[in-house]
Amino acid sequence: MTVPVRLVGGTIDGEYKEFAVSGEGAGLTSQLPYPPMLVTKTIPFRQHLTNDGMPSDGSNQDMKVVGTSSVPVDFWIPAHVENDRYITYLSFVLAGSAAKPNQFAAATALTNGNKLFYRHTLAGEITIHDSLTTNFEFMRLALGQPAFGTAADAFRAKNVVGAVDAYIPTMDLRIFSPDGFGIKLDAKTTQRLTLQVRDDQTVAGIEAVDCVAYGFDRIP
């Protein structure tokens, strides 16, 4: 015996909306491009990755530091104490005079490379890239970037750090989440998104290195 069932959801413009089913018996749904606003609020989030997880104080975001494979220096974004945090983009600056893709900024390619990873409470450490050694590796991680300047210095932007040029690849982290919201840092946890420096990045040719995270906090 078949019993007809009518599913009715919330109201839109004062009218109740029914759940639709196709002729083949499939439920017709659509995914919102953001967490449901009926029960949550979101606020924009922007912060440098820093060596203490705190907002930038003018020095703690500076990745011109000496790291090694055995004694690395971490720069990270922490989880929020109350809200779920979603990181959707990372914007890097790799500045050095006349830098080339096969260099790191304008210095020789790194030996160990920067490691980009995500620490999750249940899943453990999830590596996004284990050895970012050159400007090109950052650009490829960012799935390319807009072209700047002339054919001789394509992809390198002019006068980014004073009069020094830089590569500024921007990584879209939404590709790592099925919901399209980016990498989630659960509220009230020790989860973090980290870029780990494992080489000497104070050598000549490296004018500036840093990274800014963009996203939003979801308020319950």
pLDDT in tens, 12-27: 566 666 767 766 666 6
What's phi and psi for 201, nearest 5 deg? -105, 25
78-103 pLDDT, tens per residue? 999 999 999 999 999 999 998 999 99
Q: What is the mean pLDDT of residues 16-42?
A: 65
* pLDDT at 72 exceeding the cut of 80: yes
The model's confidence at residue 153, banded by pLDDT at 50, 70 and 90, is: low
Tokens of 170: 């921007």
pLDDT the model gives residue 76: 97
pLDDT the model gives residue 149: 61
Domain regions of the chain by residue span? 31-219
The model's confidence at residue 1, banded by pLDDT at 50, 70 and 90, is: low
Q: What is the mean pLDDT of residues 152-171?
A: 84
pLDDT the model gives residue 31: 61
**Integer Cα distance of 219 and 105 in angstroms:** 38
* pLDDT at 35 exceeding the cut of 70: no
pLDDT the model gives residue 142: 86
The partner residues of 157 in beta bridges, in order of sequence, read: 166
168-207 pLDDT, tens per residue? 999 999 988 877 889 999 999 999 999 999 999 999 999 9
Mean pLDDT estimate for the chain: 86
For a pLDDT cut of 70, what percent of the chain falls above it?
78
pLDDT the model gives residue 74: 98
Burial of residue 103 (CB within 10 Å: 0-12, 13-18, 19+) is: buried
- 43-52, 74-83, 162-171 — which is least confidently predicted? 162-171
